[in-house]
Amino acid sequence: MKPMNAFSVAMLGASLAATPAIAQKAYGPGASDTEIKVGNIMPYSGPASSYGLIGKTEQAFFNMINEQGGINGRKINFVSYDDGYSPPKTVEQARKLVESDNVLIVFNPLGTPPNTAIQKYLNQNKVPQLFVATGATKWNDPKNFPWTMGWQPNYQNEGTIYAQYILKNKPNAKIAIIYQNDDYGKDYLKGFMDGLGDKLKPVITLNYEVADPTIDSQMARLAASGADTFFNITTPKFAAMAIKKAAELNWRPMHFLNNVSASVGAVLKPAGFENAQGVISTGYLKDPTDPQWANDEGFKKWSAFVDKYMPGANKIDANLVYGYTVAQGLAHVLKQCGDNLTRENVMKQAASIKDLKLDMLLPGIMVNTSATDFAPIQQEQLQVFKGDRWELFGEIYDAGAKTN
């Protein structure tokens, strides 16, 4: 062999030095060359069990992703546990995911009280609590909780939208309110009351516990109050009860229903379409019952996904849309991570989303985040229930612009 000259040695050294940088990979718990382990907690049982379909949809979405080759060549291992919407159980399941299953992230755990119960634990352990399935305002607090990020529009801003609509269109309204007695219900209530300011005061405000069997007595008191406007801050099971009971009592106020219970399949159909006419809510996702989306490319992709990966699923259930959309959001983040699948980089990429369009977001609504803004979706549009579907009306409301 001929000895190398100085130039050849220098070039060889440079190429060897460059090789590790090009092929450099970084993995946190739950990540490898072949797998990304994603943890999840859902109420597959208990009073909020209708939301369990979200977890099932996410599993189906990741099945589709895996069949297509995974994300950057890695398959998603989706580990989802039931907490029954019980915060102590949520804590137990979160510890299992982190300490036994060694997941990379805890993705889209559902409910305000359950997420509140695990927020400090996950932040202390620097585990992403990513795209939580609750619109409580407090999830957008990157300074104090840099490992927790929300997903959907926040409850306070939504409450403000309804209040402003009432002040403009029914300034002398006699308002009745029912709310779930926890952080979720109180967050909506605060936004609504802040929106009313000193211009209107409700004539009656009642609450209920998530473990209550019915809200019939509360509905009777609300109907007897003489109120002509009703803000219904309830989760799906109780929302259906409220709509049905109001009709039984022949109480027909202007009815505002929080978005978390706007599912046609999970709420309005069980309540009876005839009882839900004229109910007003907000939307940020395409309603699968709305024929205007029939030729929409995003809708067609979602519909084909349900047909193939969730055969027999009830397409009018909005939880199918929510689960698909948030899973699509996570897929984007993980793809952006490339070969740096550390928990730190997951949060960095999640906080760097710019004008992301997803298949089932309403036109004009996009996902945006930054290092100081952990509220991915901040736009909504009012909608009214007519016939067997929601009809959008008015302009897109930019909730983010109204904050503070």
pLDDT along the chain (404 residues), means of 10: 48 45 80 98 95 97 98 98 97 98 98 96 98 94 97 93 94 98 95 96 97 97 98 96 98 97 93 98 92 95 98 93 98 98 98 98 95 94 94 82 42
Residue 2 lies in a domain: no
Expressed in angstroms, the distance from the first to the final Cα of the chain is 74
Residues 159 and 250 in one domain: yes
| pTM, entire model | 0.83
For 141-157, the pLDDT digits (tens) are 999 999 999 999 999 99
**Cβ atoms within 10 A of the Cβ of 290, count?**
17
- Would you say residue 17 lies in a domain? no
55 within domain boundaries: yes
Same domain, 145 and 261: no
Residues 163 and 254 in one domain: yes
Domain span holding position 165: 155-283+383-402
Residue 312 tokens read as: 């027999």
Each residue of 341-364: pLDDT tens digit?
Answer: 999 999 999 999 999 999 999 999
CATH number of the domain enclosing 223: 3.40.50.2300
pLDDT of 134 reads: 93
pLDDT of the residue at 400 = 58
Separation CA 200–CA 228 (nearest Å): 13
Contact present, 219 and 244 (Cβ < 8 Å): no
Number of folded domains in the chain? 2
Q: Are residues 129 and 234 in the same domain?
A: no
What is the enclosing helix (H) or strand (E) of 243?
A: helix 236-248
Euclidean distance between CA atoms 162 and 390, whole angstroms: 16
Whether 22 is covered by a domain: the verdict is no
On whether both 140 and 80 belong to a single domain, the answer is yes
228 and 160 part of one domain: yes
Q: Are residues 330 and 362 in the same domain?
A: yes
- Is residue 250 located within the same domain as residue 326? no
